[in-house]
Amino acid sequence: MDADVVIAGAGPAGAIAATVLARAGARVLLLERNRFPRPKLCGDSINPGAVSILERLGLSGVLADGLPVGGMVVSGEGAVRVRGPYPDAVRGVSLTRAVLDARLAGAAVQAGARLDEGVVVRGPVVNDGCVRGVEVSGGSGSTRQITALVVIAADGHFSRVARPLRLSRAAARPRRWAIGAYFEGVHDLGEHGEMHVRRDHYIGVAPVPGGLANACLVSARRSLLRNRGALIAHLAADPVLRDRFADARMVGQPTVLGPLAIDSPAAGYPGLLLAGDAAGFIDPMTGDGLRFAFRGGELAALEALRVLEYGWNDSHRRLQRSRRAEFGRKWRFNRALRAVAARPLAVRAASVAARVAPGAVRRVIAYAGDI
C-alpha cells in the first residue's frame, strides 16, 4: 500500500480530513491537481459555524489577517433592505480562498500528511467491487496507480473519483451558473456580507482583505459562461449597486462555474468515502458551503479511522447516516431558499414579506450563519 488513506483533492474538505487523520497517526497522501496558492470561485465568507469548527480543531490560525464579518445585508426588489447582524457579537471571517486553502493544506502537512501537488486524479481503481486506490497522472502525462486502504474523494463537484461510480450528478433543478471577480474601488463596504436577490439572479458582495470586494453573480442563464462581461453589466444596471461600483475596477479575470448544485445519492462506495463538494454541492446562496466542507471532511476522516481500526464493514453507509444527521435540516433549508430564488413571483412575495416582517429575515440570516 502506498498509504493508509489517499485523499483526492486538497481543498478545505480534503485538507481537514488529512489533518484529522494525520494527527491520529495514519499515513495520509493528499493529492492536488493544482499548485498552491490557486484561485477558487467562492464568496470568500467563512460563517460563524465554520469558524467554530476551525477553532475546535485548533486551526483558527489559518484565519489570521481575515476581515471580521458581523452579519449579512439582504436586499430585494422594491427597495427592500434588511440588515441582519449576527447575535451576541458572533463573527464570521472574510478571507480569500487562495489564502485559506493554502493555509489549510499547510496545516495538513504540518500534522504529518504528505502533499503531492500537480497530480491529476484520473479515476478510481476498482477491483472485486471495492475501490483500492486511484489512477493519477503528472506533468509527463504518464499514468500510474496509487493504492490505499481507504480513498477519500474530495476533488470537487465534478469529482473524477465519484462520477465514474455514479455517485455524483448535477441537480435537475434549479440549475444555475456563477461568474465572480474581485474589484477595487468599491464604495461603502462594511463588515457585513451582502446578498442582493433579484427576479432572475442574485449578486453576492463581500469585502476581502487588501481593500477589495468579491462580487459574484448567480443566474439560471447558462449564457453567463460565454459572456464574461455579464458581471459588470449586471452591477452597472443594479439600482442598489451601480453607484457603489461606478468607480470600481476589476482585478484580474472573472471566473465562471456551473451548473452549481450537485446531488449525490450516496456518501461513498466500498473502499471510498466522499467529502466536500464531491459529496454534494449546494448553491452558494446561504454562504455555508465551507461549514459543510469542514465538517464533512472531518466526518469522512473519523469514518476512515474506524475503517483502519476495525475494517470496512459498510463505512460508506455509516458516513451517509452521519451526514444526514448533521446536515439534513440545513440541506432542506437551503433547497427551500434555492427554490424561492428561482421563481420571480416568489422573489417578489419574499420582498414584500421582508418589508412587513424584517425580523423573520434576520432569523434566516442567523440560521444561515449556523449560529
Residues 289-310 have pLDDT tens digits of 899 999 999 999 999 999 999 9
43, 164 in Cβ contact below 8 A?
A: no
Quick one: CA torsion of 265, 269, 275, 276, rounded to 10 degrees? -40
Mean pLDDT of 4-24: 98
Nearest one of 42, 51, 138 to 99, comparing CA atoms = 42
pLDDT value of residue 330: 81
Region at 89 (left for phi over 0; alpha for psi -120 to 50; beta for the rest): left
CATH placement of domain 3-41+97-171+261-339: 3.50.50.60
Q: What is the mean pLDDT of residues 99-118?
A: 97
pLDDT digits (tens, 9 = 90+) for 38-72: 888 888 999 999 999 999 999 999 999 999 999 88
Query: Are the beta carbons of 289 and 282 closer than 8 angstroms?
Result: yes
Per DSSP, the residues of 14-50 read HHHHHHHHHHTT--EEEEESS-SS----S--EE-HHH
Count of H-run helices and E-run strands, the chain:
8, 20
- DSSP letter assigned to residue 363: H
Residue 285, CA atoms < 13 Å, CB-side half-sphere:
29
CA atoms within 13 A on the CB side of 284: 31
User: Positive or negative, the Cα torsion across 64, 95, 102, 48?
Assistant: positive
Quick one: pLDDT at residue 173?
Answer: 66
Q: Which of 102-116, 118-132, 134-148 has the lowest mean pLDDT?
A: 134-148
Q: What pLDDT was estimated at residue 263?
A: 73
Grid cell, residue 143, equals: 499514468
